[in-house]
Structure 1
Amino acid sequence: MVATWRERAGDPRGVDELVRVALAEFDLSDEELRSATGALVALQFRPTREVLDRACELCRSADADERRLGVRVLGELRDLDDPAAALPAFVGESMEVLLALAATEPDTDVLIEVARAFGYRRDPRAVEPLLGWRRHEDPSIRFFVACSLRRCSTQDNEAQVVDALIELTGDEDGAVRDYALFGLRELEVDSAEVRDAMLRRVRDPDDSAAGEALVGLARLGDERAVAPLIERLQHPDSHRIIAYGLDAAIALANPRLLPALRLVEQRLGERPDVSQAIKACTEGR
Structure 2
Amino acid sequence: MSWTAATVLTDDGEVPLRDLPVAELVSAALAVDEDSRPEYTAFLQLRGDRETFEAARSLCGSADPARRALGAYVLGELGAVALSDEGDIVVVPRDQRPFRMPAVTLLLDLAAGEPAGEPDGWPTGEPLGRPDGWPTGEPLGGRDGWPTGGPAGGPDGGTIGGTGGEVQAAIATALGHLGDPRAVEPLGAWRSHPVVHVRWTVCLALTRFASRDDDALRYLVELTADPEPMVRDWSCCGLYQAGRDTPEVRRALMVRLDDDDAVTRAEALRALALFGERRAVQPLLDALDRPPEAGDDETGEVAGLVAEALSLLADRTGDPRLLARLRPSDDD
Q: What band does the TM-score fall into relative to the shorter chain?
A: 0.7 to 0.9
Match of 1:127 among 184, 188, 200: 184
Match of 2:26 among 16, 19, 23: 19
Match of 1:246 among 298, 307, 313: 307
Alignment of 1:10-49 (within 5 A): 11-25=18-32, 28=34, 32-33=35-36, 38-49=39-50
**1:124 and 1:154 in contact (8 A); partners too:** no
Letter in 1 for 2:320: P
- What are structure 2's unaligned runs of at least 5 residues? 7-15, 118-164
- What are structure 1's unaligned runs of at least 5 residues? 262-276
Letter in 2 for 1:196: R
Q: Secondary structure at the match of 1:45?
A: helix
Instruction: Please identify which structure carries the higher strand content.
Output: 2
Partner of 2:327: 278
**Cα displacement string for residues 57-85 of structure 1 (whole angstroms, at most 9, x for unaligned residues):** 11111222111111111112133369565
Alignment of 1:103-122 (within 5 A): 103-106=112-115, 108-122=165-179
**2:191 and 2:199 in contact (8 A); partners too:** yes
Q: CA deviation at 1:94?
A: 0.7
Going from structure 1 to structure 2, the CA distance change for 1:250 and 1:6 (only over 3 Å counts) comes to: same
Letter in 2 for 1:278: R
Count of aligned positions: 254
- Mapped to 1, the partners of 2:240 and 2:45 lie a distance apart of 29
Letter in 2 for 1:17: E
Q: CA deviation at 1:10?
A: 7.3
**1:127 and 1:153 in contact (8 A); partners too:** no
- Mapped to 2, the partners of 1:221 and 1:37 lie a distance apart of 41
- Mapped to 2, the partners of 1:233 and 1:13 lie a distance apart of 54
Letter in 2 for 1:21: A
Q: Which has the higher contact order (CA 8 A, sep 6+)?
A: 2
Q: CA deviation at 1:255?
A: 2.7
Alignment of 1:32-181 (within 5 A): 32-33=35-36, 38-80=39-81, 85=91, 87-88=93-94, 89=97, 90-106=99-115, 108-153=165-210, 155=212, 158-181=213-236
Q: Secondary structure at the match of 2:227?
A: coil
Q: CA deviation at 1:18?
A: 0.9
- Mapped to 2, the partners of 1:159 and 1:37 lie a distance apart of 33
Going from structure 1 to structure 2, the CA distance change for 1:132 and 1:50 (only over 3 Å counts) comes to: same
The two structures have a TM-score, normalised by structure 1, of 0.80
Letter in 2 for 1:45: L
Instruction: Please identify which structure carries the higher helix content.
Output: 1
- Mapped to 1, the partners of 2:52 and 2:267 lie a distance apart of 38
Going from structure 1 to structure 2, the CA distance change for 1:186 and 1:100 (only over 3 Å counts) comes to: same
Partner of 1:272: none
Partner of 1:266: none
Letter in 1 for 2:174: A
Letter in 1 for 2:24: E
- Mapped to 2, the partners of 1:10 and 1:19 lie a distance apart of 12
**1:80 and 1:86 in contact (8 A); partners too:** yes
Identity of aligned residues (%): 37
- Mapped to 2, the partners of 1:278 and 1:204 lie a distance apart of 29
Partner of 1:267: none
The two structures have a TM-score, normalised by structure 2, of 0.70
**2:169 and 2:202 in contact (8 A); partners too:** no
Partner of 2:125: none
Partner of 1:271: none
Partner of 1:4: 2
Q: Secondary structure at the match of 2:18?
A: coil
**2:60 and 2:72 in contact (8 A); partners too:** yes
- Mapped to 2, the partners of 1:247 and 1:238 lie a distance apart of 19
Partner of 2:322: 257
Letter in 2 for 1:23: L
Q: CA deviation at 1:246?
A: 0.6
Partner of 2:161: none
- Mapped to 2, the partners of 1:203 and 1:87 lie a distance apart of 41
